[in-house]
Structure 1
Amino acid sequence: MYHPHSLVHFLRHVSFPPDPHLLPTALKSCPTLPLARALHAAAVAAGVARDPFVASSLLHTYLRLGATADARAVFDGTPRRTVVGWSALVAAHAASGDAEGAWRLLGEMRLDSGGVEPNVITWNGLVSGLNRCGRAWDAAAALARMHGEGLLRPDATGVSCALSALGDVGLVSAGEQLHGYAVKAGCGADACVVTALIDMYGKCARAEEVVRVFDESGHMDVASCNALVAGLSRNAQVSEALRLFREFVGRGVELNVVSWTSIVACCVQNGKDLEAVDLFREMQAQGIEPNSVTIPCVLPAFANVAALMHGRSAHCFALRKGFLLDVYVGSALVDMYAKCGRVRDARTIFDAMPSRNVVTWNAMIGGYAMQGEAAIAVRLFDSMLMCKQKPDPVTFTCVLSACTQAGLTEEGQRYFEEMQNEHGVSPRMEHYACMVTLLGRAGKLDEAYDLISDMPFEPDGCIWGSLLGSCRVHSNVDLAEVAAEKLFRLEPENSGNYVLLSNIYASKKMWDGVNRVRDMMKDVGLKKEKGCSWIEIKNKVHMLLAGDDSHPMMIAIIEKIKQLNIEMRRLGFVPRTDFVLHDVDEQEKDDILAVHSEKLAVSLGLISTSPGTALRVIKNLRICGDCHEAMKFISCFEGREISVRDTNRFHHFRDGKCSCGDYW
């Protein structure tokens, strides 16, 4: 390739005029617009600027460098304007987002002397250019016009481009018609068409068609794999995506970093965090190096299962590769450390980031909110405003959540009002849910109910669930029944709502109510969601399920729990059996409480780590009052710091106390 300085030197010192063979070669390598214009001037001076090869090279060089006006001037100066030149101009205008200019050129093209009709290349350039620049509707319109004129039949390239556009705008019926055309035209088996079909059906929420197209095509290449995983992921078909991905791996298809990143992201987005962690490790074992997209994709999985050591390894890798300058990588690291309970580490990364976006600020504020450190979260929010970073709806969810965790009722109400009045952010459902929880947790259940009644839109399950949760804290049966009735209509298959109401009845010893709720669950075929906890021990994440005895160390775990119970009772601990939903005797209730997943996880940690080692547990449900009290006792007599992150917040147990101050 020519270096710019060598080209300038050539132009200044050449002793013979550039000829039509030399100039096209130089133009092909030309890196900058000033140099292209210099070469153009040399061509004019040598009298070869109107040569067909030189003119064509000048046209394409100017278009490549984004100088459409210069390109049009060259094109207008050519003795014979061909369909190739017109097509290049149309494609360039389309790719720059100038749909009107592209259509205008098509009209000029047909009015040109002699009349030049667009060909397949012209239409392909128009459709693909419009789609690439985000004007999918215009691309779909171009396809419809092309078909309507009946003059041309799209080839495989045109079909692929058009399918992508139709998928972006969700026109599945048009996509199906184009699919039928592709089969009839004999290009349905083309690799690019197959990939585009998978992509289109995935974007249009047709998961069955995604798999059918793949199965019928028999294509096992990296492009179809990537489209397949992305399509199934969009439609929450993670198990099928994993199965087919394993099939690609088993067949020896050479997958790339995009393939592995896609399947990792698919697992994370659909709650398969352990699978995402395993795939990330397997990816590295296969010799595929993660990139700056892979790291932010996998870090949420480490956060969700408390895999702190894995997260630190990813952090070190990002540091070695220079990815920390990427704001998305930095934001994901902040979020990971915060969700693993390492808010100081998160803040260190946050402070060191050269640039931050609203996601970064939200991750840090949300991290403090989960820790119950409302004062710091609020101060950070003020710093965000001072840095001229505009808060978004998520920001206010984090701020309101921080106020909720700390019981800052008045402050929360003030931020709720300022959100719209000062920052122009209209309250959404999640903001009202935060306010209902804030008021309800403070015992202001009637105010919370009034707020729901005055909402400008119909309350959803999240709102009524917030009220029901507050009724559980204050054992308010009357309002709980109102909220539960709404929830049973809105979310008939959500077992958690039935369990919450049953909890409230059980706490009041209203066993008829408990039995009635249990019968309702049976009638709709629901079972109580099992508690699940994760704990990382020696770089391995263990998952413990309530009442499940499949863990290889379960005998030792249960034995440890028995020892803990004996010691706790000796110290005066009495199990809070009001958290058991069954009308059974007290001994059975003790046994039920003993196998809650967080107790299993902590017991495993105690027998698997050296004395004094801090334990970090993550749970999929809200920690119950009995386990909360038990953790305080265990932290005291075992001399351990125990962190439990439930669905609401972190609980840091140390020396018999919890960081939440028993307010959660």
Structure 2
Amino acid sequence: MNYNVGSNNISSSSVLRTLGLKNPKLLLLQTCSNLSQLKIIHGHMIRTHLIFDVFAVSRLISFCIETPFKTNLLDYASRIFSQIHNSNLFIYNAMIRGYSGSEYPNQSFNFYIQLRRLGISPDNLTFPFLVKSCTHYGSLAMGVQAHSQVIKHGFEPDVYAQNSLVHMYATFGDIKAATHIFWRMSYVDVVSWTSMIAGYGKCGDIECARRLFDKMPEKNLVTWSTMISGYARNNRFDKAVELFRVLQSEGVQANEAVMASVISSCAHLGALEQGERAHDYVVRNKMTVNLILGTALVEMYARCGSIQKAIQVFEELPERDTLSWTALIAGLAMHGYAKKALKYFSEMVKTGLTPRDITFTAVLSACSHGGLVERGFEIFESMKREYGLEPRLEHYGCIVDLLGRAGKLQEAEKFVLDMPVTPNAPVWGALLGACRIHRNAEIGERVGNILIQLQPEHSGYYVLLSNIYSRANQWESATKMRQLMKEKGVKKPPGYSLIEIDGKIHNFTIGDKSHPEIEKIERMWDEIVRKIRVAGYTGNIADALFDIDEEERESALHRHSEKLAIAYGIMRTKARTPIRIVKNLRVCEDCHTATKLVSKVFERELIVRDRNRFHHFKEGACSCLDYW
């Protein structure tokens, strides 16, 4: 028997029923629930020679490809295929489809080549999965070949082929090719629009992606997820959270993927209130807290300054992988809880999970912030000895930071010079930062000059070296460094601070005048300064090293972004309520000193996340012990 599967004259289900009258075992495929049952059916087909019926064997292979089991039966399908002598297009399409989403997507091309050698003509179901294989394999060259085959066989106008091509080119970042196909399509569906939105997002043109999103006549959940995750990937975290609110207002039910992007965005913004609302949304809608979503929640609470909540969420996770453990360890490290980070690291290892590169970065960072030099070296050396991991540049950077923060500057410099790999800018930068902390102009000058040669456009290194010179009273060298910055056109990025009040993010920059309540905020800070002066505050102008007189320097210090955020927080929150602030740059010494006194005088806990770590200010002291 030879059946033309998919023709208008006969359906696959009716043929299966007809075959089932003579071979009841074949009908059991419809209710097969495990591999043992499948093997029984397969054995029966071999004994009754039903295996030689092209339709029957095609159903068996199709079942393996579309298996409801957790076990992957692609290899099983391949072994069945190798025993067939009269494969048809349906079987080849099934194999191409199966491998398109597998670990070996390039195998789809081998089946396509076999199909063509046998003289079998592909159809409109062949090419979408062939193109998908190229996308999954990560080969644009193969994708272009697949595209040429689509054109050669006359399927370029087919909507499924076009959608797969748009998705492929968009995924590879060839937005020009994707756009060319998209605007020539006679019928554009939600899949087409979504692929283009994803492509623009990947290329960083998030504004164009949003324009397409707004033009769409119809959106599905994948579209919403693509746009929200696009904002998150392009660091437009405020927009990701804002679009989530629009999604809710339109009555669309978010899924785990959307919530992971939203929660991750809240983490970057330091928006605890919005993050808590997103978590509540997950709970209310009874979503499955999978590894991705669970890790996002742990990271969000840690990055928003609520480390105890991060620990609680972690402890309640139904399952944990290396990334979820790493998220918690990194969070503890950021908050300065070095011993707790090491405790969780030990527990992770005891569970049998193997630490990854990023896990070691997190635990070494904890040792650095905690001043645990010996323990840090032990962990660093265990990477290769116990886990077979070759230390990467970021791990070397952690050791340099560890030594530098502990004041072992000569050892740190020797460590860098003896590294088996060429040190990069972040490694040297860690040493330069340590020179600033410990006011070592000699090593700082050597390191700073190396960094300026490595990255002449990076403003931070000029500023750090200038500050080191100034603190050593080498004013002429400091002036020359500032002048060099001007000559090369290097500009320092403006510092900004974020504070969340009643679920809304407020952004402040130094000397900011855009906030509608700026005059009240400045008056409040002046009042704060008067009160903390009584407690011993004197403006530290060491970090305000501009070519201006002393009075102007002190005025500039009083307008640093985190000070404006603190003033606004005191204005708009109830007494004794913690104030949480996120800053994009490292906290300067004057702001650090001022914030400690604010916490004492106003009896407030202030939680500040800067570029390096968290600072918990309480009762006139900081959790970093002035060691940052």
Q: Same fold (TM over 0.5)?
A: yes
Q: Equivalents in 1 of 2:51, 2:622: separation in Å?
A: 83
- Alignment of 1:358 with 2:326, yes or no, is no
Deviation at 1:648, TM superposition (A): 1.4
Q: Secondary structure of the equivalent of 1:67?
A: helix
Greater Cα offset, 176-185 or 395-404: 176-185
Residue identity opposite 2:22 in structure 1: A
Partner of 1:70: 41
Identical columns (%) = 34
Q: Equivalents in 2 of 1:453, 1:490: separation in Å?
A: 15
Q: Equivalents in 2 of 1:489, 1:180: separation in Å?
A: 48
Partner residue of 1:558 out of 514, 519, 522: 522
Residue identity opposite 1:243 in structure 2: R
Partner of 1:187: 155
Q: Equivalents in 1 of 2:509, 2:59: separation in Å?
A: 62
Report if aligned partners of 1:87, 1:122 keep a CA contact under 8 Å in 2.
Answer: yes
Partner residue of 1:653 out of 608, 617, 621: 617
Deviation at 1:632, TM superposition (A): 1.2
Deviation at 1:434, TM superposition (A): 0.9
Q: Counterparts in 2 of 1:76-225, with a 5 A limit? A: 77=48, 81=52, 83-85=54-56, 87-88=58-59, 109-110=84-85, 116=86, 118-119=88-89, 121-146=90-115, 149=117, 151-183=119-151, 185-217=153-185, 220-225=188-193
Residue identity opposite 1:663 in structure 2: Y
Report if aligned partners of 1:267, 1:273 keep a CA contact under 8 Å in 2.
Answer: yes
| CA deviation string 1:81-132 (max 9, x = no partner) | 455445455556677877777677666544xxxxx4643x343222111112
Partner residue of 1:253 out of 207, 218, 223: 218
Q: Equivalents in 1 of 2:416, 2:343: separation in Å?
A: 29
Partner of 2:6: none
Output the TM-score relative to the length of structure 1.
Answer: 0.83
Aligned length: 613
Report if aligned partners of 1:170, 1:203 keep a CA contact under 8 Å in 2.
Answer: no
Partner of 1:49: 22
Partner of 1:577: 541
Deviation at 1:583, TM superposition (A): 2.1
Q: CA RMSD in A?
A: 3.4
Report if aligned partners of 1:372, 1:406 keep a CA contact under 8 Å in 2.
Answer: yes
Q: Secondary structure of the equivalent of 1:422?
A: helix
Q: Equivalents in 2 of 1:214, 1:512: separation in Å?
A: 61
Report if aligned partners of 2:439, 2:468 keep a CA contact under 8 Å in 1.
Answer: yes
Instruction: Specify whether residues 157 and 592 from structure 1 end up closer, same or farther in structure 2 by C-alpha distance, changes over 3 A only.
Output: farther
Deviation at 1:319, TM superposition (A): 2.3
Residue identity opposite 2:383 in structure 1: M
| CA deviation string 1:285-340 (max 9, x = no partner) | 11111222322222121122121112212222222333365343333222221221
Report if aligned partners of 1:295, 1:329 keep a CA contact under 8 Å in 2.
Answer: yes
Q: Counterparts in 2 of 1:164-563, with a 5 A limit? A: 164-183=132-151, 185-217=153-185, 220-248=188-216, 252-256=217-221, 258-323=222-287, 325-518=289-482, 520-522=484-486, 525-563=489-527
Residue identity opposite 2:428 in structure 1: W
Deviation at 1:57, TM superposition (A): 5.0
| CA deviation string 1:361-404 (max 9, x = no partner) | 22222222111111222222223333333322222222211111
Q: Equivalents in 1 of 2:229, 2:172: separation in Å?
A: 19
Residue identity opposite 1:191 in structure 2: V
Q: Secondary structure of the equivalent of 1:652?
A: strand
Greater Cα offset, 265-274 or 472-481: 472-481
Q: Equivalents in 2 of 1:568, 1:545: separation in Å?
A: 22
| CA deviation string 1:471-524 (max 9, x = no partner) | 222233343344344444544543333333333334345455445444554555
Instruction: Specify whether residues 410 and 127 from structure 1 end up closer, same or farther in structure 2 by C-alpha distance, changes over 3 A only.
Output: same
Residue identity opposite 1:129 in structure 2: G
Partner of 1:18: none
Q: Equivalents in 2 of 1:177, 1:109: separation in Å?
A: 28
Residue identity opposite 1:170 in structure 2: G
Q: Equivalents in 2 of 1:88, 1:531: separation in Å?
A: 63
Output the TM-score relative to the length of structure 2.
Answer: 0.87
Q: Equivalents in 1 of 2:112, 2:483: separation in Å?
A: 57
| CA deviation string 1:328-358 (max 9, x = no partner) | 3333222221221111222222233333222
Q: Equivalents in 1 of 2:112, 2:428: separation in Å?
A: 47
| CA deviation string 1:52-82 (max 9, x = no partner) | xx78756777699782673475277457945
Greater Cα offset, 273-282 or 580-589: 580-589
Greater Cα offset, 441-450 or 420-429: 420-429
Partner of 2:627: 663
Greater Cα offset, 510-519 or 196-205: 510-519
Instruction: Specify whether residues 227 and 589 from structure 1 end up closer, same or farther in structure 2 by C-alpha distance, changes over 3 A only.
Output: same
Q: Equivalents in 2 of 1:534, 1:586: separation in Å?
A: 28
Partner residue of 2:580 out of 613, 616, 623: 616
Q: Secondary structure of the equivalent of 2:106?
A: helix
Partner of 2:4: none
Instruction: Specify whether residues 596 and 211 from structure 1 end up closer, same or farther in structure 2 by C-alpha distance, changes over 3 A only.
Output: farther
Q: Equivalents in 1 of 2:513, 2:187: separation in Å?
A: 43
Greater Cα offset, 557-566 or 632-641: 557-566
Q: Equivalents in 1 of 2:343, 2:32: separation in Å?
A: 52
Q: Equivalents in 2 of 1:270, 1:494: separation in Å?
A: 21
Instruction: Specify whether residues 373 and 60 from structure 1 end up closer, same or farther in structure 2 by C-alpha distance, changes over 3 A only.
Output: closer
Deviation at 1:584, TM superposition (A): 1.6
Greater Cα offset, 540-549 or 279-288: 540-549
Report if aligned partners of 1:95, 1:130 keep a CA contact under 8 Å in 2.
Answer: no
Q: Equivalents in 1 of 2:577, 2:485: separation in Å?
A: 42
Q: Secondary structure of the equivalent of 1:616?
A: strand
Q: Equivalents in 1 of 2:119, 2:471: separation in Å?
A: 76
Q: Equivalents in 2 of 1:497, 1:435: separation in Å?
A: 20
Residue identity opposite 2:45 in structure 1: V
Greater Cα offset, 647-656 or 425-434: 425-434
Partner residue of 2:592 out of 600, 623, 628: 628
Instruction: Specify whether residues 58 and 655 from structure 1 end up closer, same or farther in structure 2 by C-alpha distance, changes over 3 A only.
Output: closer
Residue identity opposite 2:227 in structure 1: I
Partner of 2:5: none
Deviation at 1:431, TM superposition (A): 1.4
Q: Secondary structure of the equivalent of 1:344?
A: helix
Structure 2 unaligned spans of 5+ = 1-9
Structure 1 unaligned spans of 5+ = 1-20, 29-38, 111-115
Report if aligned partners of 2:26, 2:41 keep a CA contact under 8 Å in 1.
Answer: no
Partner of 1:605: 569
Residue identity opposite 1:254 in structure 2: K
Q: Secondary structure of the equivalent of 2:410?
A: helix
| CA deviation string 1:254-285 (max 9, x = no partner) | 322x2222222222233211111111111111
